[in-house]
Amino acid sequence: MLQQRSSGLLLHITSLPSAHGVGDLGPEAYRFADFLESAGQTYWQILPLTPVDPGAGFSPYSSPSAFAGNVLMISLEKLAEEGLLREEDLTTLHEKPLEDVTLSEPSAGDPAVLAGPLVLAPSTLHAAWLKKRPLLEQAAETFRRDASIARQADYVQFIERQAHWLDDYALFSALQEDTGEPFWLRWPEELVRRDPDAISQHTERLRDKIELIKIQQFFFFGQWNELIYYCYARKIHLIGDIPIYVQFNSADVWANPTMFKLDENLQPLYVAGAPPDYFSEYGQRWGNPIYDWEEHERTGFAWWMRRMRHQMSLYSLTRLDHFLGFAVYWEIPASEPTAKVGEWVKAPIEAFMHAMYRQFVTLPIIAEDLGARTADVQPHLRHYGIPGMRVIQFGFGEDLPTSSHIVHNHAENFVVYSGTHDNNTTLGWFRESSEAVCERLNDYMGFPVTTENVVDQVCRLTMQSVARLAIIPVQDLLKLDETNRMNTPGLGGRSWQWRLQPDQLTPEAAEWLLKLTKMTGRG
């Protein structure tokens, strides 16, 4: 899929500067696109756009929907431009400091709140939701009342095209709020089992709430498409991200229970995770329900085909997280408290990939092939020409000469990163590395590497790689330290909070990146 040398930056939408406590699809997104153009970049990589769950620490990889957009990212400024909000609404919002709402607990009926222990972020994401939600609902009400005939026609076309997921998601969210119970398994039995009469009755009764939810999704995808067109006009392509698993407490599991390994009470029989290893004595118990791959195969992987088609409508390339899970996955009995007890189970990757190619002919995807047992997927990636990932920070272990991550072992059909959203920043990684790692880095570079030059040198290695696509996190471009890390796996609400500050992206940074991009044949 990667035909020529190119490069880009990694920055999630929520990490953009904003007056509302969380980055959005408004003016700063367009300014970042302009920065990418001035720096000679071809790609902008983001994290998943789906709604987030306070119970999972606002991780974009744990969502109540595999299809919906995160309405927190809707730009209020763009709604005001459309006449759906007044300028004084935004002024009032600006005057209300985030600190006033940071400690507010989400109510039981808040559709953003899902099952599981609540891990409130110590910073801004939930506070931003509390600030923005009333104005998003107000704008949706205004749209429903005052939208022009042309805009109404656009909306009708949107809900018809997206009905395969939007109807279930909107009803799911409305029922969470209406019942005051965020976890669908604790709803009345007829709703848990999706009795057709009950579904029809509640859909009619909650018609107004459902429509407001759908209108906000219309806002989100409309603003996303506008940003895409702006980027495309500047020859900038978007790289999206899709987690392999879905959250148990999601519209997807509620609406499609036969697609997952559930018991007669609709409880998970098994959950996903990773086995114990050098870094984790008990392994990782992620808790996502396991797919019933036999049922998926029986349907021709129809749900996955809809999901992939949806992703392809949003991005030029899509990164498939935990690609290993399509070939073999660690299955943990749901009754086990850790990932220590489990077994490796094969998934039908050949049948899945054949179905994908029959549907799409070419697959604009990047496989996240990091971690244990990556050898299991390499033959499939080579056979189908799917690029995998290489991470420079991973290349300086004891296996340096043979490591697949060290630059001299790279191949063309890969995407190389200085670090990912799960890594420390390069400066933070260097500061926290062992003496042995630092010594290997010095030997490899041929001169002493210090805190002053390490980020430049790792970025240069990334761009000099023969891998056709190179991605650098914005934190590395700006030489930021460990306090600017996007995610530390396992830390819940203390992750995902990082945001770029206004004017941090300087013309000098663009000039440095442009020079490096041209010099390494990526411009």
348/299 Cα distance (integer angstroms): 13
First to last CA, the chain: 18
- Which helix (H) or strand (E) element contains residue 286? strand 284-289
Name which of 378, 115, 389, 357 is nearest 241 in CA terms.
389
419 in Cβ contact with 391 (< 8 Å) = yes
Residue 95 has a pLDDT of 60
Residue 130 has a pLDDT of 87
Residue 54 has a pLDDT of 76
CA distances from 180 to 78, 108, 512 (A): 31, 5, 53
| Phi, psi (deg, nearest 5) at residue 76 | -70, -35
272 within some domain: no
145 within some domain: yes
312 within some domain: yes
- Which helix (H) or strand (E) element contains residue 225? helix 207-233
CA count, 13 A, side-chain hemisphere, 505: 23
CB neighbour class for 19 (10 Å; exposed up to 12, middle 13-18, buried from 19)? middle
396/405 Cα distance (integer angstroms): 8
The catalytically annotated residue of 77, 168, 211, 368 is 368
269 within some domain: no
The catalytically annotated residue of 24, 252, 321, 476 is 321
pTM: 0.93
- Which helix (H) or strand (E) element contains residue 144? helix 125-146
Q: Total domain count for the chain?
A: 1
Residue 117 has a pLDDT of 32
- Which helix (H) or strand (E) element contains residue 330? strand 328-333
345/329 Cα distance (integer angstroms): 5
257/436 Cα distance (integer angstroms): 50
421 within some domain: yes
CATH of the domain at 191: 3.20.20.80
398/437 Cα distance (integer angstroms): 8
> Which DSSP string corresponds to 297-314?
HHTTSHHHHHHHHHHHTT
Number of H helices, E strands in the chain: 19, 12
Residue 266 has a pLDDT of 97
390/82 Cα distance (integer angstroms): 43
270-274/43-45 β-pairing = unpaired
Unique residue bearing structure tokens 């998003």: 136
53/244 Cα distance (integer angstroms): 17
Beta bridge pairs of residue 10: 45, 473
Residue 343 has a pLDDT of 96
> Which DSSP string corresponds to 96-137?
S-GGGTTTPPPPTT-TT--SS-----SSSHHHHHHHHHHHHH
Put the strands of the sheet holding 328-333 in their side by side order. Answer: 284-289, 270-274, 328-333, 343-346
Name which of 57, 171, 69 is nearest 114 in CA terms.
57
Residues whose CB falls within 8 Å of the CB of residue 228, separated by 6 or more in sequence, listed in order? 238, 314
Tell me if residue 321 is catalytic.
Answer: yes
CB neighbour class for 306 (10 Å; exposed up to 12, middle 13-18, buried from 19)? middle
SS3 assignment, position 207: helix
Beta bridge pairs of residue 346: 328
Residue 94 has a pLDDT of 64
55 in Cβ contact with 47 (< 8 Å) = no
Average pLDDT by stretches of 10, the chain with 523 residues = 92 94 96 98 98 82 95 96 92 62 40 36 71 95 97 98 98 97 96 98 98 98 98 98 95 98 97 84 90 97 97 96 95 96 96 94 92 88 94 96 97 97 96 97 97 98 98 98 90 80 96 98 94
- Residue 360: which domain range? 6-100+115-241+301-323+348-520
Residue 493 has a pLDDT of 58
Name which of 89, 90, 72 is nearest 128 in CA terms.
72
Q: Which residues of 378-392 are buried (b: 16+ CB within 10 A; e: fewer)?
A: eebbeebebbbbbbb
Which DSSP letter does residue 290 get? P
283 within some domain: no
Which DSSP letter does residue 16 get? S
17/498 Cα distance (integer angstroms): 10
The catalytically annotated residue of 422, 456, 481, 482 is 422
233/230 Cα distance (integer angstroms): 5
414-417/469-473 β-pairing = parallel
CA count, 13 A, side-chain hemisphere, 159: 18
Tell me if residue 432 is catalytic.
Answer: no
Beta bridge pairs of residue 260: 291
467 within some domain: yes
402 within some domain: yes
The encoded tokens of residue 31 equal: 């300014």
